[in-house]
Amino acid sequence: MTRIPHDAFERYLAMGAGRSYRLLAQEIGCSKRSVYQRAQRDSWQRQLAEFEEKARTKAAEKLSEDLSSLHERHLRTIRAVQAKALEVLRARPLESAEGAAKTLLMAMREERQLFEEPSRRGGTTVSVTRAVREIVEKRTVALADSVPPQGHPEILAASSTPPRVGA
């Protein structure tokens, strides 16, 4: 009878979701009963559960970091849109600043929604990206045309016409 190698558990673990004592026994050239006995003696099922739990925890932490980073990026974008809308509101008479006011209100709504609990948003995720993209696409050209080029060059760059100075 062949001895079970010291790395038998690592081989078992590396087999992935289709792992089995029978397949491991075939791979190392011994009986399934021998593999089973080693697995019982060394608590392979407990070790496997611990390994999988660590992997789940690590994946959840990574997901949490990614989600946090996403929220930070969205918040910066929303605040840039708000700042641009405020610039337009300051530069134009109240009667002609309707577009900027709407943009500001939409950005504020998205900012509040970003900070709400998932259950209050009606789901586990909010499409802030889509909302910000819509805000920027609808309002960027109008905002850039009405404000001198200062503050947010990345937003102004989307404008196809040069901004008016002293509007």
Residue range 84-128, pLDDT digits in tens:
888 877 777 666 667 777 777 888 888 778 777 554 555 544 455
Q: Which two structure tokens, joined as six digits, stand for 83?
A: 């700042």
pLDDT digits (tens, 9 = 90+) for 44-56: 999 999 999 999 9
- Please tell me the distance from the alpha carbon of residue 130 to that of residue 77, in angstroms, as a whole number: 12
pLDDT value at position 158? 45
Residue 78 CA, chain-centre distance (Å), reads: 16
The answer, yes or no, to whether residue 159 has pLDDT greater than 50, is no
Q: How many CA atoms lie within 13 A of 64 on its CB side?
A: 6
More confident residue, 113 or 27: 27
Average pLDDT over the chain, rounded to an integer: 75
Q: How many CA atoms lie within 13 A of 165 on its CB side?
A: 2
Contact 91, 73 (CB under 8 A): no
The answer to whether the pTM exceeds 0.85 is: no
pLDDT value at position 85? 81
Q: How confident is the model at residue 81 (pLDDT cuts 50, 70, 90)?
A: confident
Q: How many residues does the chain have?
A: 167
Q: Which two structure tokens, joined as six digits, stand for 18?
A: 């289709």
3-state secondary structure of 47: helix
Contact 139, 152 (CB under 8 A): no
pLDDT digits (tens, 9 = 90+) for 31-43: 999 999 999 999 9
Please give the full DSSP string across the chain, using - where no structure is assigned: -PPPPTTHHHHHHHTGGG--HHHHHHHHTS-HHHHHHHHHHHTHHHHHHHHHHHHHHHHHHHHHHHHHHHHHHHHHHHHHHHHHHHHHHHHS-GGG-HHHHHHHHHHHHHHHHHHS-HHHHTSS---HHHHHHHHHHHHHHHHHHHS-S-S-HHHHTT-SSPPPTT-
pLDDT value at position 125? 47
